[in-house]
Chains A and B, each alone.
Chain A
Amino acid sequence: MRLLLIEDNVPLAEELLARLKNEGYACDWLVDGRDALRAPQDETYDAAILDLGLPGRNGLSILAEWRAAALPLPVLILTARNSWSDRIAGLEAGADDYLGKPFHPDELILRLRALIRRSHGADTSPHLTINGLSLDEGRQCAVTAGGTIDLTGGEFALLRYLMLHPGRVLSKGRLADHLYNLDSERNSNVIEVHISHLRNKLGKEVIETRRGQGYIFHGCHD
């Protein structure tokens, strides 16, 4: 999952980036409202975390412009202004969720998970369950009929992305776009390594490889 974090408070952004990385999200961070305005158009993001009090451009007007340009990006507003009238104004401007500062980081993560799952039409039960395979996002492990299977951070992030797009062919390039920040990671064969580990842990039929096209998540059909 690739996230866009737009927050002008550096210490807060740094804490959030560290936490989001641990949760298996790739993050881009912007400080200025004017940069934020164009950012989602040339990058592929799965969700945005938007602060309202930004230098350069007010967060609400950025959101309004994104929505006017029919950008479907799920947006979670993060702001100190969290009266109910502010929240309603935020949601009416097109936000998908609204979180007032200060917040417990766990709360942000839970909201974000729910937001991303909703945007993919998945339900918001504690575990993401697709085609017989369950993913415990909190503990970063897979749950099958056979039991719990531990995953590394890289494997977890990849599997989550695959599970949110079941039955669709996902190219290596697209996976790299949505999962990695660094060029070093993008250029290596890290995806192939993770896919093979996942197949070893979950079973060969869970992920199908289409030569030259990419990968398809099928799940456990038993």
Chain B
Amino acid sequence: MAATTETPLAPTASIKARLSLALLIVLVTLGLAIAAGANLLFERIQMRLTESDLSNATERLLAAIRPGSSGPQLDLSRLDAAYQRPLSGQYFVIAVDDQHWRSRSLWDHELQPPPGPGKFTHTPGPAGQQLLLLTRHYERFGQRFIITAAQDYSELVAEFRRGLVVFLALWATALVTTLVALNLWMGRVLRPLTRARDQVVAIQAGERQSLDTDAPEELAPLIHQINALLAETRRALTRSRQSLSNLGHALKTPLAVLSALVEREEIRQHPSLHRSLREQVEQTTRRIDRELGQSSGASAGGVQTPFAPARDLPPLAKALQRAHNRVLTVEWRWEGQPHLPVERDELLEVMGNLMDNAWKWASSRLRVSVSHDDRNWYLTVEDDGPGIPDYARRQQVTERGFRLDESVAGQGLGLAIAADITAAWRGELSLETSSLGGLLVRVSLPVTGSRLP
């Protein structure tokens, strides 16, 4: 196949992926920062509260000390019931003289009193509790009381941690949802880009001429720019083809003069000179004819006339009959009124060259058929002449880029031009042996009918 499809470069990074990643980083950092901040704040507030609780507790414990018959006594009824419940989280130890009053809640746990008074200390408590301790020294009833109160804060911290986990879970869910939504939304936002890309592919395949201008505000200038570029390229291409075509045609008349001059008697008297001049004139002519064959699409000013065998081929046969001054039986084979999506002039050039060859070699008959399947149109030209028995030569004649210098007058050039045009329409030309005995040339053209630029 002639079409050169370039493999797209590995994308450096998709916009979608980049946006998602940025958003992910921002949201995760933010979530973690909020969680850490909340944690810190909570702990501080909690400590403060606990500290003031403890402060109050020592005061209340002091107030609950009553003078009794056998010295000061602790009036339990004036204290929080939590001190009576084992491992309730509220504890005290009061040291007076050599006695130690312990809250019942402590059960068999020993509170390690802190080294000095008035300071808060943390210490592990019973049953994995975290205790905050405060020890104060008081003088009352002439005695010295060392009151140590403790409160567990692990439960609150655990509670808060649970809350935090729920918060983080919700946060993560929100994050995932946002990313999915972003992806979907980006897909929608980027759809015009995807569409533009598909249209560029279609342009490359020759199925359309320009991009749809119906695009979002941000994309529209790009689309317009691309369309302008395409139009300019097409104009430049048409111009250069046109000038190639003009040049080719302009050279033909001086060549005709040369060709006539070469046949003058003065030159014919020098056979080797005559031969080389004639050779050069003919080579130049072949070269021009081949280039013109390739640029023959130039004349079409954008509007394509489809090739209709029933309309276009019989006049061609008439022209050939006139040109060769030879009447042959031509058998036409097609069904209905086929129309091929290929520029009439160009396919006429293909068929003209093929039938011209056939007319040259046929002994009496020609068969021309047009058919198609889902993928291709097939055009065949067969004759009952000698054909090309040499398989290698057959291959050579249809090879792409088959050199003109190698083409022997007669067979080569016409086939080469036909092969060039066929390749320009992304088709193929092959040579086979006809059931009529001569050469069968088959041209396959994709039904899409797109021409290389």
Binding site for B on A (CB under 8 A): 9, 11-12, 15-16, 19, 80-81, 83-85, 87-88, 91-92, 96-98, 100-106, 114, 124
| Contact between chains at A124 and B252 (CB < 8 Å) | no
Asked if B32 is an interface residue, CB under 8 A from chain A, the answer is no
Contacts A81-B249, A98-B323, A102-B256 known; list 14 others, CB within 8 Å: A15-B257, A16-B260, A80-B252, A84-B352, A85-B345, A88-B312, A88-B316, A88-B348, A91-B318, A92-B315, A102-B253, A102-B255, A103-B259, A105-B263
Q: Which of A83, A96, A100 contacts B349 (CB 8 A)?
A: A83
How many Å from the CB of A100 to the closest CB on chain B? 8
- In this complex, what residue of A is CB-closest to B251? A80
How many Å from the CB of B365 to the closest CB on chain A? 21
| Contact between chains at A83 and B323 (CB < 8 Å) | no
Chain B, 209-257, CB within 8 A of any chain A CB: 249-250, 252-253, 255-257
| Contact between chains at B256 and A103 (CB < 8 Å) | yes
Contacts A85-B348, A101-B255, A102-B285 given; indicate if A19 touches B260 (C-beta within 8 A): yes
- In this complex, what residue of B is CB-closest to A124? B325
| Contact between chains at B263 and A85 (CB < 8 Å) | no
Question: Which chain B residues border A85 with CB–CB below 8 Å?
Answer: 344-345, 348-349
- Tell me the bound Cα distance from A83 to B325 in angstroms: 19
How many Å from the CB of A12 to the closest CB on chain B? 5
| Contact between chains at A80 and B250 (CB < 8 Å) | yes
- Tell me the bound Cα distance from A138 to B260 in angstroms: 17
| Contact between chains at A83 and B345 (CB < 8 Å) | yes
Chain B, 253-283, CB within 8 A of any chain A CB: 253, 255-261, 263-264, 281
| Contact between chains at A114 and B325 (CB < 8 Å) | yes
Contacts A80-B252, A83-B345, A102-B285 given; indicate if A91 touches B319 (C-beta within 8 A): yes
Question: Which chain B residues border A19 with CB–CB below 8 Å?
Answer: 260, 263
Question: Which chain B residues border A11 with CB–CB below 8 Å?
Answer: 257
| Contact between chains at A98 and B319 (CB < 8 Å) | yes
Asked if B18 is an interface residue, CB under 8 A from chain A, the answer is no
How many Å from the CB of B344 to the closest CB on chain A? 7
Contacts A15-B261, A104-B259, A105-B263 given; indicate if A91 touches B249 (C-beta within 8 A): no
| Contact between chains at B253 and A12 (CB < 8 Å) | yes
| Contact between chains at A9 and B253 (CB < 8 Å) | yes
- Tell me the bound Cα distance from A104 to B351 in angstroms: 24
Binding site for A on B (CB under 8 A): 249-250, 252-253, 255-261, 263-264, 281, 285, 292, 296, 312, 315-316, 318-319, 322-323, 325, 344-345, 348-349, 351-353
Question: Which chain A residues border B258 with CB–CB below 8 Å?
Answer: 102
| Contact between chains at A80 and B253 (CB < 8 Å) | yes
Q: Which of B256, B281, B319, B322 contacts A84 (CB 8 A)?
A: B319
The CB with the most chain B CB atoms within 10 A, among A12, A19, A83, A87, is that of A83
The CB with the most chain B CB atoms within 10 A, among A15, A81, A92, A106, is that of A15
| Contact between chains at A12 and B256 (CB < 8 Å) | yes
- Tell me the bound Cα distance from A16 to B260 in angstroms: 7
- Tell me the bound Cα distance from A91 to B264 in angstroms: 31
| Contact between chains at B319 and A88 (CB < 8 Å) | yes
| Contact between chains at A96 and B292 (CB < 8 Å) | no
Closest 4 CB pairs of A and B: A84-B352, A15-B260, A102-B255, A80-B252
| Contact between chains at B249 and A105 (CB < 8 Å) | no
- Tell me the bound Cα distance from A65 to B351 in angstroms: 30
- Tell me the bound Cα distance from A185 to B412 in angstroms: 49
- Tell me the bound Cα distance from A15 to B281 in angstroms: 16
How many Å from the CB of A157 to the closest CB on chain B? 19
- In this complex, what residue of A is CB-closest to B312? A88
| Contact between chains at A98 and B256 (CB < 8 Å) | no
| Contact between chains at B252 and A12 (CB < 8 Å) | no
26 A-B pairs in the complex with CB atoms less than 8 angstroms apart: A12-B256, A15-B257, A15-B261, A80-B252, A83-B348, A83-B352, A84-B349, A85-B349, A87-B319, A88-B312, A88-B319, A88-B348, A91-B315, A91-B319, A92-B315, A101-B252, A101-B253, A102-B253, A102-B259, A102-B285, A103-B256, A104-B259, A105-B259, A105-B260, A105-B263, A106-B263
- Tell me the bound Cα distance from A91 to B321 in angstroms: 11
Q: Which of A9, A87, A114 contacts B257 (CB 8 A)?
A: A9
Question: Which chain B residues border A105 with CB–CB below 8 Å?
Answer: 259-260, 263
- Tell me the bound Cα distance from A123 to B348 in angstroms: 30
Question: Which chain A residues border B260 with CB–CB below 8 Å?
Answer: 12, 15-16, 19, 105
- Tell me the bound Cα distance from A97 to B320 in angstroms: 10
